[in-house]
Chains A and B, each alone.
Chain A
Amino acid sequence: MNKDEIKKLIRSYVAEHVFSGKLPVDFNDDTLLVSSRIINSIIVMHLINHFEEALKIELEAHEVNIDNLDSVNIMADFFAGKLNA
């Protein structure tokens, strides 16, 4: 799976679980999600479990942090890196 496909999956997840089905028109792939507190820690943990299963990757405890998860672009980079590791 390439990075664009991963981004599409993340957008779809955020739309469904954060914005009740549809991304707002002013949302983009650089919109900060965690540091802006738009998504809370429980949604973050749900999201990680979901993508570990979907992408067959595993995150270490110390990798669950804002530097790896703060926007669609940041998450896609991080997940793609894990896939290629």
Chain B
Amino acid sequence: MPENNKYLIDLIHNSLDSYGDSPAFKNTNRKSITYSELRSNLNSNTFFRNYSSDCGLIAVLSEKKFEVIEIFLAALLSGNAYLPLDYHSPAERILFILKNAGVKMLMVEKSNSDKYSKALEIENIRFNLKEYNNEYTAIIFDEYKTYSPELAYVLYTSGSTGLPKGVMHSHLSAFTFIDWCNRTFQFKKGNNFIAIAPFNFDLSILDIFVSLRSGGCLFIPSYSEVSNSRMIAKHIEDLNIHVIYSTPTFFKTLMSFGKIENKQFDKISHLLIAGEQLMGNVVLDLSKHFTKAEYYNLYGPTETNVCLFYKIDPKNCIAEQPVPIGKACDHTNIELTKKDELNELLISGNSIMLGYVATLNQKYEIYNTGDLVKKDANNDLVFVGRTDRMVKRSGYRIELAEIEACLKKHADVTECTMGVIKKGDDLKIAAFFVSQQKITDLQLKNYCLEQLPAYMIPDVFVQVNELKVNSNYKIDINKLLIENDLGHLI
């Protein structure tokens, strides 16, 4: 077995040595790189190695392209860890993450270098600028956190305390998941993958490392291409994609807006679906167009990687019923603990995170998912709800407390709370707020967009005279939803 800080390094070296002139990554503008070229680039890249030997975080803020993955791999090979940042997050959130994580370097496209240099100067953070290559500038911080060499990457998600939180994954936890994928799905050299997920989303770990390990080629569409269902449908057909890993929302959008009626998707061998609850109707619709694919529902919070899975037979799906999340992967132990009449799912095993950035020394042997589950007749687990107020939209985790914390900072908002309107797998967020001033939806949307990612922005803002409490002295959100008649939003 490799040392704890070597799992991904060995994986990268093995792939670079094994797959020669096969293409490793392609941007959809057809710019591509082979495994040999990647090996040569990484061998000659001494940028991170020359800087310092302790393990720090190399953050990357960039449009989606394979050059970003090269930076991730270079960071890992130099003994550092990487932190992919959300390209569309407001600068305020990016700055919070940079400080919270104590990053060693921030790699930005040259066009963004001035913007972030100035923002960091305003915050009195000391740094130096250095050219990394023709496309990227490195912002090198004078002070940074040192992490355990076991650390491979950090992903930030929405936090229940009102602030984003960084999930730390080790070489071992990442490798455990990647190895399980390769054994389970048997991907081969020459398989074509497409990176639908942004790199700051945990689905990217499969895209990047499972394709790399199997000798596949990962096509990397830009962010604007991913949001254009017609373009993505065209790429999936034209580029002979074999494997798609994405959320139910992505697949529903592809079918509704991708004009896929006349597309030939018979090269697709695997549709891997994860990130949010999957309903039977999505699979039934997919099976009309992707006739030769195997279907899997993969389950796992960012903190655990994929830890349960279910091989779907579309013939057994019922439109209005959720698809089971299945049984534990062979690297996972699951426990169920009673919560009222339901069971909360607890996860342990090698694929779970090292911990959170904010509580560096707290180790997690078991992770309480907060997901409530039940067993079906086949002993497969089915997701039935949450123990808390976390919701998911397009696969992204959203803590309502984080939206409330943002809105409460608005000078004219005295109180606020969030309500959720859910029908099937469609979900809308309503913000109820109290203010002495008249504030428009547009002002509040723009205010939130300065601090939160777009997927967290409420769909509707409702100004109310007061936030009434129920007999338990809790804000009566159901009453607010009913009184304001928001059912039409879905």
- List of B residues within 8 angstroms of A27 by Cβ: 440, 442
Q: Which of A40, A44, A45 contacts B455 (CB 8 A)?
A: A40
Closest B residue to A45 by beta carbon equals: B257
Contact present for B227 and A44 (CB under 8 Å): yes
Contact present for B234 and A41 (CB under 8 Å): no
Contact present for A61 and B455 (CB under 8 Å): no
> B residues engaging A (CB < 8 A)?
88, 224, 227-231, 233-234, 249, 253, 256-257, 440-443, 445-446, 449, 454-455, 457, 459-460, 486, 488-489
**Does A36 make an interface contact (CB < 8 A)?**
yes
Q: A48-B257, A64-B230 are in contact. List 7 more A-B contacts (CB 8 A).
A: A31-B442, A37-B88, A37-B454, A40-B455, A45-B228, A45-B253, A49-B257
Least CB distance from B438 to A in Å reads: 9
**Does A55 make an interface contact (CB < 8 A)?**
no
> A residues engaging B (CB < 8 A)?
19-20, 24-27, 31, 36-38, 40-42, 44-46, 48-49, 59-62, 64-66
A-B contact pairs, 25 of them (CB 8 A): A20-B460, A20-B486, A20-B489, A24-B441, A24-B442, A25-B440, A26-B440, A37-B454, A37-B457, A38-B442, A38-B446, A40-B227, A41-B227, A41-B253, A42-B253, A45-B229, A45-B257, A48-B257, A49-B257, A59-B230, A60-B230, A64-B228, A64-B231, A65-B224, A66-B224
- List of A residues within 8 angstroms of B460 by Cβ: 20
A82 vs B435: C-alpha distance when bound (angstroms): 44
A31 vs B442: C-alpha distance when bound (angstroms): 10
Contact present for B227 and A24 (CB under 8 Å): no
Closest A residue to B489 by beta carbon equals: A20
Contact present for A26 and B231 (CB under 8 Å): no
A37 vs B86: C-alpha distance when bound (angstroms): 14
Closest B residue to A19 by beta carbon equals: B441
Contact present for A61 and B440 (CB under 8 Å): no
- List of B residues within 8 angstroms of A62 by Cβ: 231
- List of A residues within 8 angstroms of B227 by Cβ: 40-41, 44
Contact present for A36 and B446 (CB under 8 Å): yes
A56 vs B477: C-alpha distance when bound (angstroms): 43
A82 vs B69: C-alpha distance when bound (angstroms): 39
- List of A residues within 8 angstroms of B88 by Cβ: 37
Least CB distance from B193 to A in Å reads: 21
Closest A residue to B253 by beta carbon equals: A42
Q: Which of A25, A37, A61 contacts B234 (CB 8 A)?
A: A61
**Are A24 and B440 also in contact (CB < 8 A) when A41-B227, A45-B253, A61-B231 are?**
yes
- List of A residues within 8 angstroms of B440 by Cβ: 24-27
Closest A residue to B230 by beta carbon equals: A61
- List of B residues within 8 angstroms of A31 by Cβ: 442
A61 vs B256: C-alpha distance when bound (angstroms): 14
A66 vs B228: C-alpha distance when bound (angstroms): 10
A50 vs B253: C-alpha distance when bound (angstroms): 14
A51 vs B362: C-alpha distance when bound (angstroms): 54
A19 vs B445: C-alpha distance when bound (angstroms): 10
